[in-house]
Structure 1
Amino acid sequence: MATLILSAVGTAIGGPLGGALGALIGQQFDSAVIGKRRVEGARLKELSVQTSSYGSPIPMHFGTIRASGSVIWATELAEQQERSGGKGRPSVTTYSYTASFAVAVASRPIVGIGRIWADGNLLRGHAGDLKVGGTLRVHTGHGDQGPDPLLVQAEGEGLNPAYRNIAYVVFEDLALADYGNRLPSLTLEVIADDGAVSLADILHAADHALDTSNLDQVTLSGFTFDQGSTADIVPVLGEIAPIFCNVQNERLTLGLADSLGETEPFTLPPPCAGGDSAEDARQDGWARRRDALPASQQCVVRYYDIARDYQPGLQRSLGRSEPGDVALIELPVAMNATEAATVADKAARRRTEARDTLRYRITEISAECSPGAIVRTPVAEGNWRIEQWEWQADGVMLDLVPVAAVAPLSVTADPGRANPSIDLVAVPTRIVAFELPWDGTGNGDVADVKIAASAETAGWTGAALYVQSDDGTLTPVGSTGRRRAVVGQALSAIAGTSPLVFDPQSRVELELAADDLTLGNATWAQLMQGANRALLGSEIIQFSRAERIAGRQWQLSGLLRGRGGTENAVSDHTVGEPFALIDDRLVSPTGSQADLATGSTIVGIGLGDSAPASSAIINMGLTTRPLAPVHGSVLWQADGSALLRWIRRARGSWGWLDGLEVPLGEPSELWEVAFGPASNPTQVWQTTESQLLLPAALAQSLSALPGANFAVRQIGLRSKSDPLVIALTA
């Protein structure tokens, strides 16, 4: 407005000169008050910004790129509580939180979503597995996509849009424990197209009216922009490959400025001298102007580095530069370090080339002489590109610039060291649950249940543990943690032998759950201290030598058998029975004894489990079961009576101390002596001493029966011991 007013005033006062001065002053005033038009086109941005505000632009992505998104829908945090403890343990209530939300990622259809980072940590891996609990659904943004079922359920079918032509993802019940119980800031690897994308595809998507068929030669791994027009995108892409424009058949055509094309360049006719009114090329019809060589300037390219998980990278051009600022080129492009360094070098070369312009007048109009065409002239060697033309009274004036020779660049660059998030695929859980004998510490009346949980790879993140009752009800009893125990299965059935002596001959072959799980050797002294204890089937063994055969296969030898009162299982082995190393990697369920009493099966559920992993509790009741007595004998008395004798053992007392009797380990000493078949004994006695005297007549009559055996059991507070068999022989 000030430009118009002051121009009119200046013309009235000072004529044309006054009008020009008034217009100049008014223009400066308008610029100061109103400001100039400012449009920001495609540019590189940091990855950590996730928005949820109205009016935020949703970008267009091409190829494969990493980008943040905009939260377009979310629920309140959902709270879950889990109680554990009781029966001698403190009651603990654990709270966890989940959230469901949707994130818009692109304003054009995409192929899919690759990896996802939450607060910089990997949330979804290459295999499509989430590293925390939850469900992910991807909507690719096509025009016929339907609404998400969760959004329909939450908002109602009539109130929920399908977000057609917008690609978005929906997280359902995403576990938030690793993110401070809040929505994390997400960045996603958006796979917008299969493979690389050309400049023609990018510009055509931005403006369908453009003719970009001449830009198919240059391809990019990924590109993104979220604001500005086509005119703002072209200069950005022009830093990668210079682009010219032309209008043909009322359509804007774009092409590569340095490309000669497939046809031979057109040769211009001789120049035509101009008339007296011509200001340029008056006499000869052409004029050439060379500017002074500009000062060298170093170029720096910022880009998304593929080798560094699309984090912003920076590459500089080679060579020295004059003092001053470097030219910063921000490219929202996914490329490797060598490609970025090549772009920087080419940009630096273009900035240090002298400006060479040829003004050339012709009188013949030809389709080959349109702007952007590559031509040759009879007055100057080389190939020239028509930059612009001007219709004049005495001809058509062409402005020509030389087509630079494309010299091959041999550039190598290093993206720098990256510390990418470890992408380990979640794998199924393997568990072995068993009960250990009482070790003499703590409360011996509480079952000592241990769980050996493991998996095939280190990508296993642990599992939630439950006790399964007979009706299928699951009662939570804690979790395993991420530390893997050494578990496996037997490839051979070990033969039975005496548990009283060292067994140097027996061998057992195992297959462990993973290649990186190992076993070690132990000396005799270490064995006596409890080293290398393991559960094999129902028997607890110790091994002195472990040898890897191949891969996961191991062979154990140098065995001590029937440890911890499991001598009755020495001869009960099969191929495929479970193996678990007893060490500090075992976990104990956190539930109360009442919880553990609801069932005899432990269930583990982890992220990689399509079905729950389960294990029946092996040796259930072993902790509270009295040990079987030993050294049974029959002493015949002079009067014909028989005295049955045995030596008791005690739970938790595994050392035989000279001169001391082992503690009882039970509220009272009580024994059951049964005669006859184990399933249906004919006579049963109870005694409070470690002996039983049979009268002469009874002893003689029983000894005459076939299979005259006595089964001696100690009666404990909660169960009976395994039997000691004593044969009654005359």
Structure 2
Amino acid sequence: MATLVLGAVGTLVGGPLGGAIGATLGRSLDSMIIGTPRREGPRLKELAVSTSSYGQPIPALYGTVRVPGTVIWATDLAERRETGGGGKGKPKTTTYSYSVSLAVALSSRPIDGVGRIWADGNLLRGRAGDLKTAGTLRTYTGHSDQRPDPLMAADIGPHCPAHRGCAYVVFEDLALEDFGNRIPALSFEVFAGSASQIVAEIARDQGIASHDVTFPELSGFVYEGGDLAGLLTLVDRLRPLNAVTSDGRIALDGVGLPAGDIAILSQPSAWDQGDFGREEGMALTRRPLPDRAPSALRYYDPSRDYQPGLQRAEGAATASPGRVIEFPGVLTAAAAQGLLAQASRRIHYRSEALAWRMGELDPRLGPGSIVRAPGLSGLWRITGWEWRERGIELELIRYVPQSVAAQVADSGTAWSPPDRIAVGSSLRVFELPWDGSGAGGSPQRFAAVGAPTGRWSGASLYRLDGSALAPVGQSGPTRAVGGSLLEELGPSQGLRFESVAVARIVLEDEDSELETATVDAIARGANRLLVGNEIAQFAHAEPEGHGRWRLTGLLRGRGGTEVEALAGHMPGTPVTLIDDRLFALPADLILGIGGGLAAMGLADEEPVVAALENGGRTRRPLFPVHPGAETDGTGGLTLSWTRRARGGWRWLDEVEQPLVEQEEAYEVGLGTPHAPDRLWAVSEPHMQLNSAEISALASLYPDAPLWVRQKGSFALSTPLHLTNVPARA
């Protein structure tokens, strides 16, 4: 049998290792003719996760592969506590987060580097080398000059190993918030040179010569260990190998067309004994075993992020476990389909065996040699020979050259986690007019924390306290919707719904969406937009692509911001959507005039700082409306106005606005509001000046403005112009 012959020759010329190689390849040849065990190769690790068990083998990696790794060192979980919230009636909350430091061994031979890293199936590290969560990563490639990791050395002490010859990575303070505060299941994309020369490299390490054993289709391989013979058997299933003798030593040779002339066997010798073939010296037999041909090939597919793929042989409707080749190598779908087709084709042809007797030994011939047989077509491969007293008996099988024909195959549809580059945070801090909810005396201040398009998991907020930062809370991963005006937004009196008005904006996050709302929804407060310091509402939102939106149907000057609406806005004015994605600041948070906040996300090298806009706006009364000035027949003047209340966003027909302040009070002034010449305090929305007072004012302050503003419990409103003092007659 081929096993016995190749094993004997291997032991003769290569010692015990050579004998193992010869015997293993012999078993491979036998299995193609007389059958195979049900298991064909190591089981592929479809859902393998990082382990830390004693005795767990660390594989040798070749090419580009994905492996789970083995945890070789770890610290206890480190706890961090933060208190935040308390804004807009919400209670303060204390959150706990955890981090861990650990080392994971990847390969028992040196590597070039580490690419992507997956944690629980999602990307922890992208193609650009960016970690998707907080922490630090260090890679040790396993070369002979490798030094101990400083963090491990600080924990273990002077006996900390450098792990030379073993490639590993170290995570320092890896944040665990995204993984339920536990260590996630990790897997790593590893680059370790080329895998196409794996047979030659391993054979060279064992002191065995090789020739033409390249595996060009192979881009990665996970060698779990074991003897070389097991590896060769695995490779031989897809890329046939020969165990040949060269200069008295065993060598490995790829099954390719031999260089130069192909030897021709001498004519068969007819002997009287018939225990080998027939008496004429040759016998051609066929052993049809179609059920032994492989029906499928499982492999690691790079287009599926190195998860296992499956290709079926042509005509194979099902793939039973006994006929599936498990190959721990990285192949494209087309390469896997082509290798499987060639393996099936070889088994079909190799079921044709030839027994041949020769009277003398040709020194060029030996196990693995490719020859021609007189009177028979095609090429034959010698699988065994035996000396006899009267000559040589050869065992041969039909030789099938490796085909390079392209195959059409599909890897199937696979989900890949998005690999988005981390982006920095954006921050806008403002105070809004009271919306009627909660206590009217509590400032309604918000932080709009967002980011441009990209990966962003939120930011920590801090109060600026001199040169220090005092924690406020976490924004969470939900972004506020913000951007800026693309075009000038003209002035508006804000008196009615402007159905044809247009505002064009661009959002910083192109994935953000705006929605259309009905007029009734707008009346209930939908689609509020802070444009500069004006609050406007929009009815229709039409996307223009790349984060650009066209907003039509505007209601301007909402919440008492008519003054800002009347001024209009230039291109580039900041725009923020007012909804529940804003971060409500605690009512007791002290910012002060000109005070602000800082935000710090994972991608922010420095804190992003924003000053408070519209400080005090919540408790500032709305300025009165409907100014009136009537003269009587005696020269007196009656001034009147209509009061408005904070929180009164809707116009109430024939109903007076409720009084929000502690008392109704107004301040009527003459001259400039910041330095008035005269002031009157009144408690009703009107005031009367008699003719003598008007005459005196006209003499001292001719044509000076008269105005009124409401006095609230906390502040004064913006003044409303009533009339001018008449000139002296």
TM-score over 0.5 (shorter chain): yes
CA distance in 1: counterparts of 2:647 and 2:395, whole angstroms: 101
Q: 1:313 aligns with which of 297, 309, 318?
A: 309
CA distance in 2: counterparts of 1:89 and 1:326, whole angstroms: 63
CA distance in 2: counterparts of 1:561 and 1:122, whole angstroms: 45
Q: Cα offset for 1:666?
A: 1.0
Segment drifting more, 119-128 vs 107-116: 119-128
Is the counterpart of residue 222 in structure 1 residue 223 in structure 2? no
Higher RCO (CA 8 Å, separation ≥ 6 residues): 2
Aligned partners of 1:360 and 1:399 also within 8 Å: no
CA distance in 1: counterparts of 2:184 and 2:515, whole angstroms: 43
Is the counterpart of residue 649 in structure 1 residue 644 in structure 2? yes
Distance 1:706 1:474, change over 3 A: farther
Q: Cα offset for 1:70?
A: 0.7
Distance 1:250 1:184, change over 3 A: farther
Aligned partners of 1:493 and 1:575 also within 8 Å: yes
Q: Cα offset for 1:104?
A: 0.8
Structure 2 counterpart of 1:356: 353
Q: TM-score, normalised by structure 2?
A: 0.83
CA distance in 2: counterparts of 1:385 and 1:155, whole angstroms: 58
Aligned partners of 2:60 and 2:225 also within 8 Å: no
Q: Cα offset for 1:197?
A: 2.9
Is the counterpart of residue 254 in structure 1 residue 255 in structure 2? no
Give ranges in structure 2 of 5+ residues lacking alignment. Answer: 1-38
Is the counterpart of residue 708 in structure 1 residue 669 in structure 2? no
Distance 1:239 1:565, change over 3 A: same
Q: Cα offset for 1:579?
A: 1.0
Q: TM-score, normalised by structure 1?
A: 0.83
Structure 2 counterpart of 1:63: 63
Distance 1:518 1:82, change over 3 A: closer
Structure 1 counterpart of 2:438: 442
Distance 1:150 1:677, change over 3 A: farther
CA distance in 1: counterparts of 2:476 and 2:319, whole angstroms: 62
What are the superposed Cα offsets for residues 82-128 of structure 1, whole Å, 9 maximum, x if unpaired?
11245865332111111111111111222322332223333333343
SS of the residue corresponding to residue 414 of structure 2 reads: coil
SS of the residue corresponding to residue 239 of structure 1 reads: helix
Structure 1 counterpart of 2:210: 212
Aligned partners of 1:543 and 1:559 also within 8 Å: yes
Structure 2 counterpart of 1:178: 178
Segment drifting more, 224-233 vs 385-394: 385-394
SS of the residue corresponding to residue 659 of structure 2 reads: coil
Q: Cα offset for 1:225?
A: 1.5
Aligned residues with identical type, % of pairs: 40
Aligned partners of 2:59 and 2:106 also within 8 Å: yes
Aligned partners of 1:447 and 1:624 also within 8 Å: yes
Q: 1:725 aligns with which of 694, 705, 721?
A: 721
Q: Cα offset for 1:639?
A: 5.7
Aligned partners of 2:85 and 2:472 also within 8 Å: no
Aligned partners of 1:467 and 1:599 also within 8 Å: no
SS of the residue corresponding to residue 703 of structure 1 reads: helix
SS of the residue corresponding to residue 151 of structure 2 reads: helix
C-alpha RMSD of the superposition: 3.6
CA distance in 1: counterparts of 2:594 and 2:175, whole angstroms: 29
Q: How does 1:445-456 map to 2 (within 5 A)?
A: 445-456=441-452
Is the counterpart of residue 499 in structure 1 residue 494 in structure 2? yes
Q: How does 1:13-24 map to 2 (within 5 A)?
A: none
SS of the residue corresponding to residue 569 of structure 2 reads: coil
Is the counterpart of residue 433 in structure 1 residue 429 in structure 2? yes
Q: How does 1:677-688 map to 2 (within 5 A)?
A: 677-688=672-683
Distance 1:606 1:474, change over 3 A: same
SS of the residue corresponding to residue 197 of structure 1 reads: coil
Q: How does 1:599-638 map to 2 (within 5 A)?
A: 600-636=595-631
SS of the residue corresponding to residue 356 of structure 1 reads: strand
Distance 1:411 1:685, change over 3 A: same
CA distance in 2: counterparts of 1:109 and 1:245, whole angstroms: 29
Aligned partners of 2:111 and 2:142 also within 8 Å: yes
Distance 1:98 1:597, change over 3 A: farther
Give ranges in structure 1 of 5+ residues lacking alignment. Answer: 1-38
CA distance in 1: counterparts of 2:476 and 2:453, whole angstroms: 15
CA distance in 2: counterparts of 1:582 and 1:323, whole angstroms: 58
Distance 1:96 1:217, change over 3 A: closer
Structure 1 counterpart of 2:300: 304
Structure 1 counterpart of 2:160: 160
Aligned partners of 1:469 and 1:601 also within 8 Å: no
Structure 2 counterpart of 1:197: 196
Is the counterpart of residue 543 in structure 1 residue 542 in structure 2? no
Distance 1:651 1:296, change over 3 A: same
CA distance in 1: counterparts of 2:612 and 2:221, whole angstroms: 56
What are the superposed Cα offsets for residues 415-453 of structure 1, whole Å, 9 maximum, x if unpaired?
444344344444333344332221212212222233444
Q: How does 1:412-491 map to 2 (within 5 A)?
A: 412-457=408-453, 459-482=455-478, 484-491=479-486
What are the superposed Cα offsets for residues 391-433 of structure 1, whole Å, 9 maximum, x if unpaired?
5555555544331255677755554443443444443333443
Q: Cα offset for 1:198?
A: 3.7
CA distance in 2: counterparts of 1:690 and 1:369, whole angstroms: 119
CA distance in 1: counterparts of 2:431 and 2:62, whole angstroms: 58
Q: Cα offset for 1:562?
A: 1.2
Q: Cα offset for 1:380?
A: 4.0
Q: Cα offset for 1:475?
A: 2.1
Structure 1 counterpart of 2:117: 116
Aligned partners of 2:81 and 2:97 also within 8 Å: yes
Q: How does 1:27-42 map to 2 (within 5 A)?
A: none
Structure 1 counterpart of 2:140: 139
SS of the residue corresponding to residue 572 of structure 2 reads: coil
Q: Cα offset for 1:569?
A: 1.3
Distance 1:596 1:105, change over 3 A: farther
Q: Cα offset for 1:220?
A: 0.6
Aligned partners of 1:47 and 1:67 also within 8 Å: no
Is the counterpart of residue 243 in structure 1 residue 244 in structure 2? no
Segment drifting more, 93-102 vs 664-673: 664-673
Is the counterpart of residue 78 in structure 1 residue 75 in structure 2? no
Q: Cα offset for 1:75?
A: 1.0
Q: Cα offset for 1:543?
A: 2.9
Matched AA of 2:471: T
Aligned partners of 1:490 and 1:509 also within 8 Å: yes
Aligned partners of 1:85 and 1:92 also within 8 Å: yes
Structure 1 counterpart of 2:92: 91
Q: 1:555 aligns with which of 537, 550, 558?
A: 550
Aligned partners of 1:41 and 1:228 also within 8 Å: no
CA distance in 1: counterparts of 2:416 and 2:161, whole angstroms: 37
Distance 1:289 1:185, change over 3 A: same
CA distance in 1: counterparts of 2:549 and 2:106, whole angstroms: 50
Structure 1 counterpart of 2:574: 578
CA distance in 2: counterparts of 1:79 and 1:227, whole angstroms: 39
Q: Cα offset for 1:341?
A: 3.9
Q: Cα offset for 1:527?
A: 3.6
What are the superposed Cα offsets for residues 430-489 of structure 1, whole Å, 9 maximum, x if unpaired?
34433222121221222223344444437443333333344341422332433x443211
Q: 2:523 aligns with which of 515, 525, 528?
A: 528
Structure 2 counterpart of 1:375: 371
Matched AA of 1:293: P
CA distance in 1: counterparts of 2:336 and 2:550, whole angstroms: 54
Segment drifting more, 455-464 vs 95-104: 455-464
CA distance in 1: counterparts of 2:691 and 2:320, whole angstroms: 118
Distance 1:420 1:281, change over 3 A: closer
Structure 1 counterpart of 2:101: 100
Segment drifting more, 648-657 vs 310-319: 310-319
CA distance in 2: counterparts of 1:358 and 1:46, whole angstroms: 44
Q: Cα offset for 1:583?
A: 3.5
Distance 1:327 1:658, change over 3 A: closer
Distance 1:548 1:179, change over 3 A: closer
Q: How many residue pairs end up in the alignment?
A: 683
Structure 1 counterpart of 2:330: 334
Aligned partners of 1:272 and 1:363 also within 8 Å: no
Aligned partners of 1:47 and 1:187 also within 8 Å: no
Distance 1:692 1:77, change over 3 A: same
